[in-house]
Every structure is written in C-alpha cells, then in structure tokens.
Amino acid sequence: MSESAPVDTSGSQDGRRETVEAALASLQKTLTKIRGCPEKEKQALRREVEQLESMEQKLTQGRVEIVVFGEISTGKSALINALIGEAVTEVDVRGGWTKEVWHVPWEGSGYCIPGLDQSQIVLIDTPGINEVGGASRAELADEAAERSDLILFVTDSDLNDTEFTALATLAARNKPILLILNKVDLYSQQQRRQLIEILQDRCRDIVSADNIIPASADPREIEYVIEDAQGKTRHELRKPQADVESVKARILEILAQEGLALLALNAAMYTADKSDRIAVLRIQMREQAAQQTIWTFAGLKSVAVALNPVGFADVAGGATVDVAMVITLGRIYGLEMAWQPAKDLFLAIAKAAGWVMLGETVTHFLSSSLKVLTAGAATLLTAVPQAAAAGYGSFIVGQAAKYYFEQGASWGGESPKAVVRRILETTDRDSVIARLKDELKEKLHRNPHSPSNKE
Ligand SMILES: Nc1nc2c(ncn2[C@@H]2O[C@H](COP(=O)(O)OP(=O)(O)OP(=O)(O)O)[C@@H](O)[C@H]2O)c(=O)[nH]1
Ligand SMILES: [Mg+2]
C-alpha cells in the first residue's frame, strides 16, 4: 500500500470494530441531517443521499471495491478477466474499448471480511484515462475512485506523463495502490527487471516498491514447434496461461491485513468529503432562494406603494409586505416564524436603520402620490422613482433579516445597527433602485388596476 495511507494495521479487532461503528455513525448522522432539510434541498441532494446510502450498505455488507485504472489498451479488462478466471468483461485490440464503468463481483476470490458473511470483492473496470470525449465518464471514474478501497493502476511499459499525473492524483486519495506492469510476456527477463526498476525509481514517493507488480493478463500466442514420432515438425500457435498470481496474492495480503479498517476509513473519508460538499451546496441554495425572495418582495412593495400610496404611506401599512418577507426568509433557513416575532424582527431592523431609508422614501412619495391620484399615468411615471425607493427599503430589510437567519437567528455578536449599517454601505443603492424601477414600470403597464391603464 502507499506509504502515506492512514491505515491502522496494528489495530486490534476491537479497534477495527470501533472504526467501523464511528464511520457508520457519521454516515447516518449526515443522512439524518439531509432528511431534515426543506423539501427543495432534499430534492437537490437526492444524488448525494443515494451515494451515502450505497456507501452505508457497502460498509455494513463488507463490500470491498477494487477499481482498475490505466491508459487505453494496457489490459485493464484483461486483468479483471484473468483475476476472475473467465471472460466477464470485453477485451479488444482496438483502443478505447471499455466505454462504461463496470462492476464485476469477484466470486472466487476466497476473501471474506471476518464476521461479515455477505462480504464480497467487486472489481471495477473503467475506460482508459486518456479516452476522448468522456467528461461524464471521467466523473464516473472519479466517483469510482472516491468510493473504492484499493486501486489497481495498469501500464504496459514505462509511464508517460499522462499516466504519471493520473497515478499521482490517485495516490493523493490515500488508498492502497498497486501499479501493475502488464504484458510482461512481450519483454525479455532483463527488460522486465529494468522496467520494474525504472517504475520503482520514478514512483518511489507514491507507490511502495512491493506494490509494483508484473503480470501478463492476456499473453500473446507463442509459436510452438512440435515434433512427431517420425521426426517431422510442425508449427502451432498456443496461448500461454495468464499470469496474475502475484497481483492476486498482493491484493489478498492487503485485505487480510487491513480489509475492515480500509473499508471503515474509506467510508469515513467519503462521508466527510460529501458532508462538506453538501454543506456548501445548501449554503448556495439558501443564498439563491433568499436573494430571489428579497427581490420578489422588494418588487411587490414598490408595486403596492405605487398603486396604493395612501394605505402604504405610513410605516405600519408598508410593514405588511416586509413582515411577510421576513417569514418567507425564515422558512428558507428552516425557521417557522409567527407573525408577531417576524414583525418584531422587522421593527428591530427598521429601528436599527433609524427609519431613515423607510421614512425618507415614504415622505418623498406622499407628495407625488396626490398627483398620481389626480393626474393619472403621466404623473404615475414620475412617482416610480419614489415607489422604487420604498422597494429599496424592503431590500435592505430583507438583507438584514437574511443575515440574522444565516447566523442561526442571532446578530452574530454584533448589534443590529452595525449589521444594517454595513449592509447599507456595501449595497449599490442606485443599481438596486434602477432594477426595481424597471420591474415596476413593466408591472404597472401590465396591471389592469394601474391608473395608467384606466384612462
Ligand atoms: N501480449 C499481451 N497482450 C495483452 C495482455 N493483456 C492484454 N493484452 C492485449 O491488449 C489489448 C487490450 O486489452 P484490454 O484488456 O481490452 O485493454 P483495456 O485496458 O481494457 O483497454 P480499453 O478498455 O480499450 O481502455 C488486447 O488486444 C489484449 O489481448 C498481456 O498480458 N500480454
Ligand atoms: Mg477495457
């Protein structure tokens, strides 16, 4: 195995059980967390849930996954066939033959994790690492590497740069790697020795010397000269037996030493990585949903103010939209808020802002609203900037409420005033108002109750 792999080979049986239980617990904790998410997030995390459930099954059943990587035509599929002892996956002289990631149970391996009767080894065939046009295939192969417990990297000569880079990337996963020098039947004894030495030297930092193993998975036919009783000779082509015994022996040796620990540590690393990614994804989703909500409500507020200036002229009237926005935002962050606490939060934010932005926009608006009522469409358009400014007030309230929910329903050790001031300072007021104005104009033109459409 690779020297850096974090595997406790000295661990007692008890220690290994504990590692398995710890891995299982963290897996289940992550799954429980996702199951408690809002429906939309659960939908988006479906794939992650499937992956984690499958990892849970893998661990409890003791399914060891061995993934085979290498350039095209190096004999990856042939190696799997030779290990299993029958042609289960297709081998072809044409490069790029294997197009999918294949899972093949290795029935006759003779390996079973102690105490897990159902345990089995699965060999995973992958397309060549330099296979063209395979972005999604590369993703599948990557997922296979992430899940796998042991990696076989197949080459048929010295490593080229692509192979070396791929091998180094795989080695960084901290899993045991065997580097298989396949097709050794094509080389003389001396060439084999030389090649093995070259590989040991080049890969000394990523693969330990005893994990670099020669093999001939599908040796080329050899011409035999056969002499009959009369001394007549004839030529016959015969295929020598595959030789993958050293590969098989090394795999079984590693598994016997640390099979269960490998499985457990692997599941733990996989879960940690997935739960990090899930956390990032959830933050992104919430951020997106929250911003969308804020824009919707800010837009709604400016429409409401433009159409009903008197009702919305005081803060209490305008608060309806803001309180509804606060409740919706809370829900995005998994918090069910009743009307009164939501209103209190809105008032706290408005107070922190010193009523300035709200008061200012409302006063400005009052003067023009009278004109709207009397003069109709032309004046309405002049009222648009003020109505948009009212929407801007809601936009700020929304950003502050969003911050409050992100901090787990607190101001994160700051005062609401400091938070609101920072939001005001970092918000590009003009561009927010410009966007709200555009939306407002468009909506007023479409709205049958708009004064401009009543004329
Ligand atoms: N001489 C020799 N040829 C081999 C050996 N192993 C495989 N081959 C040949 O190499 C060619 C490719 O073998 P595959 O097993 O299809 O190789 P692969 O890596 O799966 O190839 P792709 O799926 O196309 O990426 C075939 O013609 C095999 O017969 C070996 O040990 N010796
Ligand atoms: Mg293949």
Using CB atoms within 10 A of its CB, is residue 78 exposed (0-12), middle (13-18) or buried (19+)? buried
pLDDT at residue 287 in the model = 94
Determine the distance separating the centroid of ligand 1 and the alpha carbon of 79, expressed in angstroms.
Answer: 8
Q: Which of 67, 73, 223, 239 to mutate to test the pocket of ligand 1 (most atoms within 8 A of CB)?
A: 73
Determine the distance separating the centroid of ligand 2 and the alpha carbon of 369, expressed in angstroms.
Answer: 75
Find tokens 């060439």 and name the residue.
191
Strand order in the sheet with 102-105: 102-105, 120-125, 63-70, 150-155, 177-181, 212-214
Determine the distance separating the centroid of ligand 2 and the alpha carbon of 196, expressed in angstroms.
Answer: 23
Determine the distance separating the centroid of ligand 1 and the alpha carbon of 109, expressed in angstroms.
Answer: 22
CA distances from 323 to 59, 139, 317, 364, 411 (A): 48, 45, 11, 23, 18
| Alpha-helical runs (H) found in 407-428 | 416-426
Domain map of the chain by residue range?
13-279, 308-454
User: Measured on CA atoms in the order 219, 221, 225, 228, is the torsion positive or negative?
Assistant: positive
Q: Which ligand is nearest to the CA of 95?
A: 1
Q: Which of 97, 130, 155 to mutate to test the pocket of ligand 1 (most atoms within 8 A of CB)?
A: 97
Determine the distance separating the centroid of ligand 2 and the alpha carbon of 206, expressed in angstroms.
Answer: 24
pLDDT at residue 380 in the model = 54
Determine the distance separating the centroid of ligand 1 and the alpha carbon of 73, expressed in angstroms.
Answer: 5
pLDDT at residue 200 in the model = 96
Closest atom of ligand 1 to CA, residue 215: 31
Sort residue 77 into left (φ over 0), alpha (ψ -120 to 50) or beta.
alpha
Residues 6+ apart with CB under 8 A from 390: 301, 302, 305, 312, 318, 358, 361, 362, 365
CA distances from 315 to 224, 318, 326, 421 (A): 99, 5, 16, 20
Closest atom of ligand 1 to CA, residue 92: 16
**Selecting from 3.40.50.300, 3.30.470.20, 3.40.50.10540, 3.40.50.970, what CATH number does the domain 13-279 have?**
3.40.50.300
d(CA 97, CA 76): 10
Q: Which of 71, 72, 77, 157 to mutate to test the pocket of ligand 1 (most atoms within 8 A of CB)?
A: 77
pLDDT at residue 99 in the model = 73
Residue whose CA lies nearest to ligand 1 atom number 12? 73
Residue whose CA lies nearest to ligand 1 atom number 9? 75
- pLDDT 10s per residue in the chain (455 long)? 344 444 444 456 666 778 888 999 999 999 998 888 878 888 888 988 999 999 999 999 999 999 999 999 999 999 999 999 988 877 777 766 777 788 889 988 888 888 788 889 999 998 888 765 556 666 777 888 899 999 999 999 999 998 998 899 899 888 999 999 999 999 999 999 999 999 999 999 999 999 999 999 999 998 888 888 888 888 888 888 999 999 999 999 999 988 888 999 999 999 998 888 888 888 898 999 999 999 999 998 888 888 766 555 445 556 888 999 999 999 999 899 999 999 999 999 988 887 555 544 444 444 444 444 444 454 455 567 778 888 899 999 999 999 999 999 999 999 999 999 999 999 999 999 999 988 888 877 765 555 544 44
Q: Which of 69, 83, 90, 92 to mutate to test the pocket of ligand 1 (most atoms within 8 A of CB)?
A: 92
d(CA 283, CA 276): 11
pLDDT at residue 448 in the model = 53
pLDDT at residue 446 in the model = 65
pLDDT at residue 372 in the model = 46
Using CB atoms within 10 A of its CB, is residue 30 exposed (0-12), middle (13-18) or buried (19+)? buried
Residue whose CA lies nearest to ligand 1 atom number 29? 218
Closest atom of ligand 1 to CA, residue 220: 1
Determine the distance separating the centroid of ligand 2 and the alpha carbon of 110, expressed in angstroms.
Answer: 24
Residues 6+ apart with CB under 8 A from 427: 395, 396, 399
Closest atom of ligand 1 to CA, residue 127: 25
pLDDT at residue 228 in the model = 85
The binding-site residues of ligand 1, defined as CB within 6 angstroms of any ligand atom, are 70, 72-78, 91-93, 95-98, 127-128, 182-183, 185-186, 216-220
pLDDT at residue 455 in the model = 40
